[in-house]
Structure 1
Amino acid sequence: MAVKYNQWKAMWAITKASIKAIFRSPSAVVFSLAFPLVFILVFGFIGGRGVSVKVGIDHASDTANGIYAQLKEDKSIRLVTSTPKEQMEDDLRKGRLAAILRIDASKPAVLPEYKVHVKTSTAGGEKTGLLFNILTNSIHNLDDKAYPRPTVAEIIPEEVPGRAYKTIDFILPGQLGFSLLSAAVFGTAFLFFSLRQTLVLKRFFATPINRLYIILGEALARLLFQSFGSVIIIGIGYFCFGFTLINGFATFLEMLLLCLFGLIVFMGFGFIVSGIAKTESTIPPLANIVTLPQFLLAGTFFSVDVFPAWLQPICKIMPLTYLNDALRKIAFEGLHLWNVGPQLGVLCIWGVVVYAVAIKVFKWE
């Protein structure tokens, strides 16, 4: 009696072989892990510093006074004191310095006690205004200490508990989306085109394995690889840069499930590219048509709100926009998968459309 062919066992064999191939592929590792990690490290290290103004201090300036001491303690200002005068002037004209300050002391008992000369350049832009605000506040603080006086109004502060929204809380979900979209589109397109070109698919057809199980095996390999990559990305963000997982491990698991769902949707784009590509050299341009606009406009590096009003509707059509938004809401706001129904709904619609097109254009041979 003949033994029935085990489709699941064959699928798992394809999965294991594909995982080995993915880890041996430099491009897969670079796009899925290296690039997102580099961006996370860069934004993670600079994220907590905020905006700073670089200001030169004239060598003839009086530095033994309260104004200079306050500016030195202010984290929003970087004082440059050792650069030669000619270099400071050149840096000012080229916008590398917001201003050059010279603090002169007046004669004893003559008010104002100090005169602050501020030399600026039209190249300073918005940082010039920020510098004047910092200077004004510093001088007002000194006035309050030196000349206490009545005031017409009293400020009564009230602070409510809140959660700081760090740069890493915005960047990391975007880089997860970047990783998923890159791996799904480029990885799937190159893989199935290569399998056709090298006649591997034709050899598969000589075996009893069903075509569906071939796709499931390759898809499972990518799901496992991207799960590994997502764990690394989230782990480094959480332990090294304080990425917010509001509900701890439960939030981590929900983000992981959402990542896998997004990957399945994005793989449809890879099947389309693989199906319409005539040669291997045409895959990168076709894949970039799908991925590049989403990398730039789908809230990966910048919020969609910073774009012009006419461009925002285009941003809000893209599937990566909704994946990034859902990841941020789950991680920072503490929402659950059932609370991000609108985002999941749009991704489902994209999935139906994309796979309908993929079925039409995908080629086995």
Structure 2
Amino acid sequence: MSATIALTTSSWRAYLRDKASLFFTFAFPLAFLVLFGAMYRDQELEGVPYVQYVASGVLSWGVANAAVFGTAFTLMQWRRDDLLRLIRLTPTRVPSVLGARLLITLAIAACQVALFIGVAMLPAFGLSPARTWPLLVPVLVCGVMAFLAVGALIGTYAETPEAVAAVSNILMVPMAFLSGAFIPLAAMPDYLQDISRVLPLTYLNEAAMAALNGTDAGATVATSSAALLGFAVVFSLVLLRVFRWDAKR
């Protein structure tokens, strides 16, 4: 536990010093909110104000994106700079490294949610969260765990920042559209809807939307959280087998 706390503390301080990461982690999702909010102001989608729909999608994608990119870049840089090799010489093990990253990512996600919902509730956007909004907490925790494992897998194999960015974007950009984060799944062809069911972001998005809108929130959050935990377990088991401490292995 002490190793996890030490890694968490040092990682958090390093993150706060990285102004570029801070800016893009928080500003990028807000830019999409502003863009779509301005384009579809006062319009409805499936009987729901558009902001109620797009806010959950952009929020889910922003949290997932931060988990993937932040974890992938951190592990790649630590391995490239031989920090992971030095950590391995201590009693620290893989679960401690990933546990520290999980705590950091959960803290970032909490800040993202607070900032994003606060901005979305401004009169310019008009988001009105339902009373079920606290259900965001369990599903976002499960979502962070799943996407952190994805980012760790990318960071385990990618050797350069360019490779991390390329692989992460190849995964996350198509997923943003195929999961219904920006475009309703009902508007997609049947085969794309089928594909969406194997994407973790679909479940994160559906649960976030249900929690914010109050539509069948309890059942949707429970089902989606279980699905996201399933993704997290599978990805983590793979990660534990392929995790690399250094670039030579």
> Given the two structures, how large is their TM-score scaled by the length of structure 2?
0.87
Partner AA of 1:179 in structure 2: G
Counterpart of 1:23 (choices 16, 34, 37) is 16
Q: Which runs of 5+ in 1 are unaligned?
A: 1-6, 52-163
**Identity across the alignment (%):** 27
Cα separation, 2, equivalents of 1:357 and 1:311: 26
Query: Shift in Å at residue 338 of structure 1?
Result: 5.1
Q: Residue 165 in 1 paired to residue 48 in 2? A: yes
Query: Shift in Å at residue 37 of structure 1?
Result: 0.6
Cα separation, 1, equivalents of 2:114 and 2:43: 28
Farther off after superposition, 327-336 or 290-299:
327-336
Question: Is contact 2:134–2:211 with CA below 8 Å preserved after alignment?
Answer: no
Question: Is contact 1:258–1:327 with CA below 8 Å preserved after alignment?
Answer: yes
SS at match of 2:102: helix
Q: 1:203 to 1:186 in 2, by over 3 A?
A: same
Who is 1:243 aligned against? 127
Counterpart of 2:32 (choices 25, 30, 39) is 39
Query: Shift in Å at residue 202 of structure 1?
Result: 2.3
Q: Residue 220 in 1 paired to residue 213 in 2? A: no
**After superposition, what is the alpha-carbon deviation per residue over 1:95-130, rounded to whole angstroms, capped at 9, x for unaligned?**
xxxxxxxxxxxxxxxxxxxxxxxxxxxxxxxxxxxx
Who is 2:190 aligned against? 309
Q: 1:292 to 1:27 in 2, by over 3 A?
A: farther
SS at match of 2:169: helix
- Which has the greater radius of gyration? 1
Question: Is contact 2:76–2:159 with CA below 8 Å preserved after alignment?
Answer: no
Cα separation, 1, equivalents of 2:220 and 2:196: 22
Partner AA of 1:34 in structure 2: A
Q: 1:40 to 1:281 in 2, by over 3 A?
A: closer
Cα separation, 1, equivalents of 2:160 and 2:137: 34
Higher relative contact order by CA 8 Å / sep ≥ 6: 1 or 2?
Answer: 2
Q: Which runs of 5+ in 2 are unaligned?
A: none
- The number of equivalent residue pairs is 244
Who is 1:254 aligned against? 135
Counterpart of 2:58 (choices 164, 175, 185) is 175
Question: Is contact 1:319–1:350 with CA below 8 Å preserved after alignment?
Answer: yes
Farther off after superposition, 221-230 or 349-358:
349-358
Partner AA of 2:169 in structure 1: N
Question: Is contact 1:186–1:287 with CA below 8 Å preserved after alignment?
Answer: yes
Who is 1:11 aligned against? 4
Question: Is contact 2:149–2:232 with CA below 8 Å preserved after alignment?
Answer: yes
Which residues in structure 2 correspond to 1:1-365 (within 5 Å)? 7-8=1-2, 10-50=3-43, 165-240=48-123, 241-247=125-131, 251-337=132-218, 339-365=220-246
SS at match of 2:121: helix
Partner AA of 1:333 in structure 2: G
> Given the two structures, how large is their TM-score scaled by the length of structure 1?
0.61
Question: Is contact 1:31–1:182 with CA below 8 Å preserved after alignment?
Answer: no
Cα separation, 1, equivalents of 2:218 and 2:142: 11
